[in-house]
Structure 1
Amino acid sequence: MNGLSGFFRNLNRNKAILFMVLPGALWFLIFSYIPMAGTILAFKEYRISRHGFIDSIISSAWVGLDNFKFLFSTSDAWIITRNTLLYNITFIVIGLVAAVAMAIVLSEIANKKLSKLYQTGMFLPYFLSWVIVGYFAFSFLSLDKGLLNQFLVKLGIDPINWYSDPTYWPFILIFISMWKAIGYNSVVYLASIMGIDRSLYEAAMIDGANKWQQIRNVTLPMLTPLMTIMTLLAIGKIFYADFGLFYQVPRDSGALYSVTNVIDTYVYRGLKTTGEFGMITAAGLYQSFVGLVLVLTSNWVVGKVNKDNTLF
C-alpha cells in the first residue's frame, strides 16, 4: 500500500509535467502502439467480413509467409530494393553534409535579421506537399512548355523529354529532396551550434586559430554526438522511401520505373491492382524489422567506438 500511495503522490507532484507529455503519449499510443496488433494481417489472407473488422481478422485464413513472397517473387524485387537502399544512403550522406554546412554558414552570418530571413526562405519548401513540388518540377521539365526546355531551345539544343528518359532522374530526385529537406534538417544543427559555449571559440582565437580551424576543432567535434544520433535515426528508415518524392514528382511515369520505383511505390501499385491488405502489412513489417536490425547494429558499432555518442 505504501508503494501505491507513493506512486500516486509522485503523479500528483509531477502532474504539470505529465499533462505536458500527455498529448505526445496519446499520439504514440493511438497511431504507433495500438496499430501494432494489426501486424497479424501480414500472415493472413485478409477478407472483409460483414461482422466487423475484428471478425474479419479472426476469420481470415492463415497463410504464413506467403504475403512476404510478393516483395521477392518478381523481377522487380532487385530493382526496388536497390533503388530504396541507394537513394536513402545518398540522402543520408549528402543530407548530413549539406545540413551541417548550411547550419555553420547561417551561424557565421553577422547580421542576425538577414540570417533569420535566410532560415525562413530555406524552411519554406519543407511545408510544401509533394503534389505541389511535383507541379513545380513539371513546370521546369515539361516537354512543350517547360522552362528548362525553353532555355535549351534558345541555346540551339533539342528539348529533352525528361519524363521518358531515366538517365537524369537520380540527380533530379536527389536535388529536389535536398532542396525540400535541407532547411528543416539544418535547423537542428543550427540550434546545437547556438548552444556551444562561446568561450571555446575565444580560447581558439587566442591560440591563433582561423575561422576554418575553429569550425574543424570546435564546431564539428561538438556536433558529432548530434550528427551520430540523427544518422542512426535515419538508418532506421533506410528501407522506407518518401512516397511523394518517388510517385508525385516523376508523375508515375512507367518509363522511369527503373530509377524511380521503390518499395513503397511498388507496394502501392500492387495494392491498387490486387487489393491485398495482407501484402501491404507484410511490406510495412518487413521494412520496420530491417530498420530495427540496422539501428541496433549501427548503435552497437558506434558504441564500440564511443559510448557517449550512442542513441541508447
Structure 2
Amino acid sequence: MAKLTAEAKRKERGWGRKKKTLLLLSMVAPGAIWLILLRYLPMFGIIIAFKNYKIYTKEPTLLNNVMHSKWVGLENFKFMFKTTDSWIMIRNTLGYNLLWILLGIVVAVSFAIMLDQITNKFVAKSYQTMMFFPYFLSWVVASYFVLAFLDPTRGLIVHFQKSHGMDVINWYNDTTYWPFILTIANMWKYIGYSTILYLAAITGIDTTQYEAAGIDGASKWQQIRYVTIPHLKTMIIILFILNIGKIFNADFGLFYSVPMNSGPLFPVTQVFDTYIYRTLMATHNEGMSTAASLMQNFVNFIFIMTANTIVRKVDEESSLF
C-alpha cells in the first residue's frame, strides 16, 4: 500500500512538472512562431540581393522567379555608393541614432528617477500612463498632430505667427527646424517605454541601501548618485548595446509620415529605410532594395558584436553574451 502511494505521488509530481513545462511552452509559442514566420523564413529572400530579379509570367511564383533570375554578384550593392544621396543617407541615419541613443538614456533615466520620488501612487501611475501612451500611437496619427501645428495655411503655429505680425515659416519646405522637430517627436514617442524599463530596475533596488545611506547623512542627490545610478549601470549598458545594434535602422514612419514625404526636406529626412523604399518605388528593382537592406543589417551586426566585445572586456557581467 505504501509503495502504491509513493508511486502515485511520483506520478503526480511528474505530471505537475509536465503541466508547468507545457504552460511555459504555450507562453513561448506565439513569440517563437512570429520569429520563425517573420524573421527566419524571409531570410530566403537574401539571395535576391545577388540576382537580377525578374518576374516570369508563365509561373510567377516567388520561388520560380528567384531560381530563374540571373546571378549578378555584388552589382546590386554598387548603386548605394554611386548616388549623391549615399552620404546624406548615412550621415542622417548615424547622426540621428547616435544623438537619440545618448539623449534617450539621459532623459529616460532622469524621468525614471523623478517618477520614483513621487510618493502618491495615483499620481505616479497617471504620469507613467501618460508617458507610455504615445508608444502605442501610429506615426500616421502622430503626423497629423504635427500637421495641425505646422500646416502652412491653417496650422496653430502659423496662425499665431500671422496674428502677431511675425514672419510665417513654411515648415514643410525649410530644413532648418526639422532635426529638432524629429528629435522631439522621437523622444515623445519612445521615452515613456525606456522610462518604464529603468523605473522597473529602480524599484528592484533594496530599500535598506537607501535607509543606510540616509542614516549616514546622505542627501537625496547623494543617494541617487551613489545608490540608484550604480544599480542602473547594467540596464543602461544592455539597452545601449541593443540600440547600437539598430544604429543603421531608422524609424520609417517618423522620417516618412511626419515630414509628409516632403521633397525639400530630404537633406534632413533621408535615411536608410526611406532610401530603400524610394529606390524600390522609383526603380522597381527588388535586387537593389534587398541589397541595401542586407547591407544595413550586416553593418548593424558588426556594430552590436563590436559593442558587446568591448563591454565584455571592460565588465563581463554587463555584456549580452
Q: TM-score range by the shorter chain?
A: over 0.9
Task: Report the Cα distance in structure 1 between the residues aligned to 2:141 and 2:82, rounded to whole angstroms.
Answer: 35
- Post-superposition CA distance 1:119-159 (Å, at most 9, x none): 11111111111111111111111122111122223333111
Task: Report the Cα distance in structure 1 between the residues aligned to 2:203 and 2:91, rounded to whole angstroms.
Answer: 39
Runs of 4+ in 1 over 6 A off after TM superposition: none
**Partner residue, 2:256:** 247
Task: Report the Cα distance in structure 2 between the residues aligned to 1:66 and 1:187, rounded to whole angstroms.
Answer: 45
Task: Report the Cα distance in structure 1 between the residues aligned to 2:282 and 2:216, rounded to whole angstroms.
Answer: 67
Specify the code of the residue in structure 2 equivalent to 1:273: A
Task: Report the Cα distance in structure 2 between the residues aligned to 1:170 and 1:66, rounded to whole angstroms.
Answer: 34
**Partner residue, 2:158:** 149
**Partner residue, 2:69:** 60
* Mapped pair 1:233 → 2:255: no
* Mapped pair 1:33 → 2:53: no
**Partner residue, 1:17:** 24
Q: How many residues matched?
A: 303
**Partner residue, 1:209:** 218
Task: Report the Cα distance in structure 1 between the residues aligned to 2:220 and 2:158, rounded to whole angstroms.
Answer: 42
**Partner residue, 2:296:** 287
Task: Report the Cα distance in structure 1 between the residues aligned to 2:256 and 2:24, rounded to whole angstroms.
Answer: 41
**Partner residue, 2:168:** 159
Specify the code of the residue in structure 2 equivalent to 1:207: D
Cα distance, 1:12 vs. partner?
4.6
**Partner residue, 1:182:** 191
Cα distance, 1:19 vs. partner?
2.3
Cα-Cα RMSD: 1.4
Task: Report the Cα distance in structure 2 between the residues aligned to 1:46 and 1:260, rounded to whole angstroms.
Answer: 29
Cα distance, 1:210 vs. partner?
0.7
**Partner residue, 2:5:** none
Task: Report the Cα distance in structure 1 between the residues aligned to 2:22 and 2:150, rounded to whole angstroms.
Answer: 55
The 5-angstrom pairing of residues 193-208 of structure 1 reads: 193-208=202-217
Cα distance, 1:15 vs. partner?
2.7
Task: Report the Cα distance in structure 1 between the residues aligned to 2:320 and 2:119, rounded to whole angstroms.
Answer: 34
Task: Report the Cα distance in structure 1 between the residues aligned to 2:139 and 2:236, rounded to whole angstroms.
Answer: 27
**Partner residue, 1:4:** none
* Mapped pair 1:267 → 2:276: yes
For residues 39 and 172 of structure 1, do their structure 2 counterparts lie closer, same or farther at Cα, with a shift above 3 Å needed?
same
Task: Report the Cα distance in structure 2 between the residues aligned to 1:210 and 1:83, rounded to whole angstroms.
Answer: 42
The 5-angstrom pairing of residues 78-93 of structure 1 reads: 78-93=87-102
Cα distance, 1:46 vs. partner?
1.1
Cα distance, 1:53 vs. partner?
1.4
TM-score, normalization by structure 1: 0.94
* Mapped pair 1:103 → 2:112: yes
- Post-superposition CA distance 1:62-105 (Å, at most 9, x none): 11111111211111100100000000111101111111111111
Deviates more, 1:11-20 or 1:255-264: 11-20
**Partner residue, 2:232:** 223
Task: Report the Cα distance in structure 1 between the residues aligned to 2:280 and 2:82, rounded to whole angstroms.
Answer: 16
Task: Report the Cα distance in structure 2 between the residues aligned to 1:76 and 1:19, rounded to whole angstroms.
Answer: 47
**Partner residue, 1:310:** 319
Task: Report the Cα distance in structure 2 between the residues aligned to 1:155 and 1:106, rounded to whole angstroms.
Answer: 38
SS in 2 for 1:163: coil
Cα distance, 1:26 vs. partner?
1.2
Specify the code of the residue in structure 2 equivalent to 1:130: W
Task: Report the Cα distance in structure 1 between the residues aligned to 2:294 and 2:307, rounded to whole angstroms.
Answer: 20
Task: Report the Cα distance in structure 2 between the residues aligned to 1:281 and 1:197, rounded to whole angstroms.
Answer: 49
Deviates more, 1:56-65 or 1:274-283: 274-283
**Partner residue, 1:127:** 136
Specify the code of the residue in structure 2 equivalent to 1:25: A
SS in 2 for 1:158: coil
Task: Report the Cα distance in structure 2 between the residues aligned to 1:100 and 1:174, rounded to whole angstroms.
Answer: 17
Structure ID, larger Rg: 2
Say if 2:50 and 2:76, in contact at 8 Å, map to a contact too: yes
Cα distance, 1:20 vs. partner?
2.0
Say if 2:249 and 2:272, in contact at 8 Å, map to a contact too: yes
Cα distance, 1:187 vs. partner?
0.8
Deviates more, 1:41-50 or 1:258-267: 41-50
**Partner residue, 1:3:** none
Percent identical pairs in the alignment equals: 52
Say if 2:276 and 2:293, in contact at 8 Å, map to a contact too: no
Query: What runs of 5+ residues in structure 2 fail to find an aligned partner?
Result: 1-14
